[in-house]
Every structure is written in structure tokens, then in C-alpha cells.
Amino acid sequence: MTGESYLNHPNFGLLYRICRLGDGSELYMTLYAHRLFFHVQPRGDSIEIEPVSRHQAKILLEMYLRELRRLGKLEEYQKLQQLEKRL
């Protein structure tokens, strides 16, 4: 979780990166209407932006939290755990 990252979506406008996930993908949400979530995955030279529900976003975050805890990355785990509570 270093720095802020934004992505411009053609239909939903500016997206804000919530966090990076363990598989190289990232979780974004709309900047102004904090209700829409997107799972962004690299695909070669491009990226795939998949809309996900709030519930699916929480599940993705919970899976990554389990991985961090298993790997012993407690500092990042604690930061993301606080973020999860706000979702």
C-alpha cells in the first residue's frame, strides 16, 4: 500500500485503488460514489476491469488478509484489516 493510485474508467470516471491483492490484481472503487467496486487484473499489455459487488470486494479482501496472516506480514495485515472494517 504505497501511495495513491487512480484509474480512469470510460463509464464510471475516476477510480481509486483501495489495495493491491496477492495475485497481482488490485481492488478499486469509484472516487465520488463509494458504492461501486472493481477488480482490476493485468492481461498482457492491457488490463481487465471487472465490476464486483460490495460483498465480492469484501471476500477478495478477506482472502488476501488470510494470505498475509499466513505469510506473517502483520503490518500490512493490520492496515488492510482496518480498511476492511470500513467497507
In a domain, 1, yes or no: no
DSSP SS3 for 59: helix
R_g (Cα) of the chain, nearest Å: 13
Domain count, the chain: 1
Position 40 scores a pLDDT of: 95
Residue 7's contacts (CB-CB under 8 Å, 6 or more residues apart) are: 14, 15, 17, 28, 40, 49
Per-residue pLDDT tens digits of the chain, which is 87 residues long: 457 889 988 888 899 998 899 888 999 999 887 789 999 999 889 989 999 999 999 999 999 999 999 999 998 888 888 877 777
CATH of the domain at 35: 2.30.30.660
Predicted pLDDT of residue 1: 45
Residue 73 falls within a domain, yes or no? yes
pTM over 0.75: yes
Residue 72, domain member (yes or no): yes
Q: Is residue 26 part of a domain?
A: yes
DSSP one-letter code for 26: E
- Which structural domain range is residue 40 located in? 6-86
Half-sphere exposure of 49 (CA within 13 A, CB side): 18
pLDDT at residue 80, rounded to an integer: 86
Residue at 37 is within a domain: yes
